[in-house]
Amino acid sequence: MAIDIDRLRLAVAHEAGATAHALTRKGIRRKKVPLCEMADEVTESVEARIGQLFTMSELGPVACNPDCAYCCYVPQVLVTLPELARIVDRLQTWPVDQLEALKGRLNAHVVAQSSDVESPAARPPCALLVGHRCSVYEVRPLVCRGQHAYDVQQCKTRCETGTGETTQLTVVLDVVRGAVSGVVGAFQEMGAQGALLDLSRALVIALENPKVLLQAANGLLPLATATVTAETE
């Protein structure tokens, strides 16, 4: 019996979205919104579903590893508020000199977003990439966890030339999109900051004043300049 791929993709995205939505609403209802814990719970559910899909796939094992950074050369990394809070929490353990260096890379990445380049490699990578490794790999966002490939050369070519395609398991990307949508929707329903955020811009703000995270969770808009709209995506 042939599988209806479109129906499967819709079902997977809906399932991921519903789970993430429920987990997020549960956290928002608390007196003190546990942003990091919410990110952990949603990530755990997404990782479990992605793992199942990879196991079921006939494409074989993915070629990705923590030392592979071709997908880190992007103008924007989009994150939800809980994911941002979890990354900020990790960064607050860094030495002052490393944080200052990070702020410089963040500002350079923001400036480069408006540059017109032919290939991703011509633009600075994500500011959290240090020595070709993600410096916050254990708490990286869902959009990063969903990126994968079965051929490193495809990624390399795409990064260095801006051409070519990368083979991916599309339902994995659907899980991530569904989960992110579920988190954003839950925040918006509860009257809090629910939009997706540009990680670089949001980190510039949050590293200067971590209190903006809970302010956003309580309905204020201190991260408005980092908000990603349909026009800026």
First to last CA, the chain: 38
Q: What is the pLDDT of residue 191?
A: 80
The whole-chain average pLDDT of the chain stands at 91
**pLDDT band at 4, cuts 50/70/90?**
confident
**In the block, residue with structure tokens 């990126």:** 147
- Say whether 233 sits in a helix, a strand or coil: coil
Output the pTM of the full model.
Answer: 0.93
The arithmetic mean of pLDDT across residues 134-155, rounded, is 95
Q: Are 108 and 114 in contact (CB under 8 A)?
A: no
Q: What 3-state class would DSSP assign to 134? A: strand
229 contacts 195 by C-beta, under 8 angstroms = yes
CA distances from 33 to 13, 25, 100, 196, 215 (A): 26, 10, 29, 18, 10
Instruction: Please give the torsion angle defined by the CA atoms of residues 68, 197, 20 and 63, in that order, rounded to the nearest 10 degrees.
Output: -10
Q: 60-103 pLDDT, tens per residue?
A: 999 988 788 999 999 899 999 999 999 999 999 999 999 999 99
For 14-53, write each residue's pLDDT tens digit: 999 999 999 999 998 887 889 999 999 999 999 999 999 9
Q: Which two tokens stand for residue 181?
A: 């949508």
Report the C-alpha gap between 112 and 17 in whole angstroms. 32
Between helix 35-56 and helix 5-28 the angle, nearest 10°, is: 160
Q: 142 pLDDT exceeds 80? A: yes
